[in-house]
Amino acid sequence: MSPAAHLPRPPVPRTSVASRASPVPAGAPAPGPARRTFLHAAAWSVPAIALVSASPAAAVSGPALTFSSASYAGVACAAIVDAVVRLADGTEVVAGATVVLQLAGGYTFDAGAVTATVVTGGDGTASCGAIHVPAGGAAGSIAATASGATGATATLTAFDARLLASPRGLSDADLIPVGATPVALDLYLSAGALYRSGVGAVATGIDAVGALAPSADDASAFLLPLRLGDGSAAVFDTVSNTTSTIGGIPSDATPVAADLFLSDSTLYRGGAVVASDVDACGQLIEHDADAAARLYLPYRATDGTPRLLRLPDGDTRTAFEYGTAGGPPAGATPVADDLFIAAGALHRVSWDGTSAFGAGVVASGIVSWGALTPNPVYAGERLLPVITTAGEAAVFMVSGNTLRLARSVPAGAAAVGADLFRVGSTIHQDGVGLVASDVTAVGDASPASRGGSRVVVPLGSAVASC
């Protein structure tokens, strides 16, 4: 879910895949992202006749043209270079034939041309050259004709997804459908299917998703909880790229984070109940300075008390500081790890009265926040981006309990994660300034890998011009 203008980590339930991001009007043109070529896998191992889209295979007799794929795709403002046309008469290839190519839908060859002529080689094939992809995610086509031969047509589509990393900047997200909703890491949703950059579809039949979070059982994996179309629960694993269904969870339970699901006020993990008094959940994350590498989920109980769930232990406890001076009051909102907020004051709590960074009120004057992530600049530190009551962007440095104003971030920003903030259709980085433009949707910020400090945010974009 993209950070909102109020509480970027609202209490569950997360109801719909469509709720993960809300488009906004495009802003100023982006500083040109790195232009590169996208290679779409050709498939001559498939019978070529199956790839002819101009007419049914049964109707083809005599020389016929085919493309190496029924469709090609590339990143907006980049180029498709793997399109290949082939001319054959039955099993016999036709060499030295002149083939005329025609583009439609805003796609062009070099110098803006929409037609090109190629000659087949000894194997009956010819490269179609560089096909330049227009801005805006247009759909188009490429047609091939040759004298005395049956023609062929293939579809052309554009990707519009980007990955923003802190540090390292923007990169293209390949094999993501146009208009897909960014989720987290390099994951997107489109028409009930989960897509991964560079991989394509990795899961289907999805009705709703929760938050990507660390696995409590695999130190290298992140897990994304899913509710499938039949109401069952499932979990996608980023290491194996596989989805596993989870039994023992009530139908239509709300996916929360990792392998946690909520039904009414009962929280389930792996089919077992881990808490039965849950009113609202914060962000599940590795607990700071925990030698056992536990995960903490802060939550507000149905009676308003601030509580903690530890994983993989599966035990819960009311925050030790509750009811003491500096402790969070009843009704406090869970933020992430051991942090709660009430009346603009950020409270750190502990499991048993011991905390490596101290407990009590650690910051004040906060109205909204983004995702707690590693500090992408200083290893071992974590950052929570926030918006103050004065409307200013700021970063809370967790281990130092220090809140400072963000630099080079305009007023009116919303916190995303780490040192990143969104202002309309632009993303700004603390101390850097503008790092992404033409942004239509923003996913959740997360570490690029377990134990790493680089932070990644998936984006939807609408490139205004090439």
**pLDDT > 50? residue 236:** yes
CA–CA dist 39, 401 (Å, integer): 47
- The two tokens of residue 236 are 């996608």
**pLDDT surpasses 90 at 145:** yes
Q: Which CATH class is domain 17-31+163-461?
A: mainly beta
List Cα–Cα distances, 236 to 109, 203, 242, 420, in angstroms. Answer: 40, 8, 6, 26
Tokens of 46: 């498939």
Burial class (CB in 10 A: 0-12, 13-18, 19+), 224: buried
CA proximity to 328, closest of 295, 287, 364: 364
**Of the candidate ranges 156-160, 187-191, 255-259, 381-385, the one whose mean pLDDT is the lowest:** 156-160
Q: Is the peptide bond before 306 cis (omega within 30 degrees of 0)?
A: no
Q: How many residues does the chain have?
A: 466
| Residues 425-446 pLDDT 10s | 999 999 999 999 889 999 999 9
> How many C-beta atoms surround the C-beta of residue 403 within 10 A?
18
Examine the pLDDT at 29 and tell me if it is beyond 50: no
Q: Is 50 helix (H, G, I), strand (E, B) or coil?
A: helix
C-alpha span between 330 and 316 (Å, rounded) = 17
Residue 64: its pLDDT value, please?
Answer: 98
Q: Give the integer Cα–Cα distance in Å for 375 and 450.
A: 13
Q: Is the pLDDT of residue 7 over 90?
A: no
pLDDT tens-digit readout, 210-231? 999 999 999 999 999 999 999 9
Which CATH number describes the domain made up of 37-159?
A: 2.60.40.10
Average confidence (pLDDT) over 16-20: 34
pLDDT band at residue 462 using 50, 70 and 90 as cut-offs: low
CA distance 134 to 157: 10
Q: Return d(Cα 175, Cα 186) in angstroms, integer.
A: 11
H or E stretch covering 112 = none
Residue 116 has a pLDDT of 98
pLDDT digits (tens, 9 = 90+) for 74-111: 877 889 999 999 999 999 999 999 999 999 999 999 99
As given in the structure block, the two tokens for residue 177 are 């459908």
pLDDT of residue 51: 34
Q: And the tokens for 167?
A: 């540090």
Listed range (24-33, 233-242, 292-301, 372-381) with the worst mean pLDDT: 24-33
Q: How far apart are CA 122 and CA 107, in angstroms?
A: 28
Q: Indicate the SS3 state at residue 49.
A: helix
pTM for the model stands at 0.77
Task: Map tokens 């390099």 to a residue.
Answer: 186
Q: What is the mean pLDDT of the chain?
A: 87
Q: How is the chain split into domains, by residue range?
A: 17-31+163-461, 37-159
Asked if residue 126 lies in contact with residue 429, where contact means CB atoms within 8 angstroms, the answer is no
Q: Is residue 227 within 8 Å of 235, Cβ to Cβ? A: no
* Residue 465 confidence (pLDDT): 66
CA distances from 94 to 117, 120, 123 (A): 16, 7, 7
Q: Assess whether pLDDT exceeds 50 at residue 2.
A: no
- In sequence order, the 6+-apart residues with CB closer than 8 A to the CB of 136 are 76, 158, 160, 462, 463, 464
Of 136-140, 294-298, 415-419, 428-432, the range with the lowest mean pLDDT is: 136-140
First to last CA, the chain: 29
